[in-house]
Amino acid sequence: MSGPIDIRAIHERHRWLMRSLENDVEAALEEAGRHAEWTVVEKSTFRHRSNAVRDGTRTRVQRTRGARRLVITNVARHAAYLEYGTRPHIIRAKRGRSLSFFWLRVSKRMVIRQVRHPGTKPYHFLRFARDQAFLLAGVLLHKALIKRGAQF
């Protein structure tokens, strides 16, 4: 190769590459966030009467100085108990002096002051969603790098 090197053209092309990669990172993280939300809804192994935990999962791409990160949260108040589990504990009545349970099949009512709860196992549904999002983001970024490298 002979002749002068156009430094300005190389610099412009480099700036284009960096802007393109920033957009690719943003798009990959947004897609990974959608996948994380889908994973919580479709792949969670816990069974609960309400869908508050499944519907309460939110993701967002957070911009920090020089970086981006995917934040996965859940707004359901009992999500942490399902994520991390609970130890055996005693449940006591808050209002009034007793707890009341009613069984429809037996048609009996039982009134007691406290209950020994055996605890719950952790389901780690958010951890699983995070891991799946991480894998997908890696695949998407790898494809983007190959594409942009060929264009550069």
pTM value is: 0.80
| Residue 100 and residue 54 share a domain | no
Would 145 be classed as within a structural domain?
yes
| Residue 136 and residue 114 share a domain | no
| Residue 104 and residue 74 share a domain | no
User: In terms of residue numbers, what domain contains 111?
Assistant: 86-119
Q: What are phi and psi of 59, to 5 degrees?
A: -130, 155
| Residue 98 and residue 37 share a domain | no
Distance (Å, whole) CA 99 – CA 135: 46
Question: What is the maximum alpha-carbon separation in the chain?
Answer: 95
Spell out a b/e string for 116-134, using b for 16 or more CB atoms within 10 Å of the CB, else e.
eeeeeeebebbebbbebbe
Q: Residue 55, CB half-sphere, CA atoms under 13 Å: how many? A: 5
Would 60 be classed as within a structural domain?
yes
Predicted confidence pLDDT, tens digits, the chain (152 residues) = 567 888 999 999 999 999 999 999 999 999 999 999 999 999 988 877 778 888 899 999 999 888 899 999 999 999 999 999 999 999 888 877 777 766 556 566 677 888 899 999 999 999 999 999 999 999 999 999 999 888 87
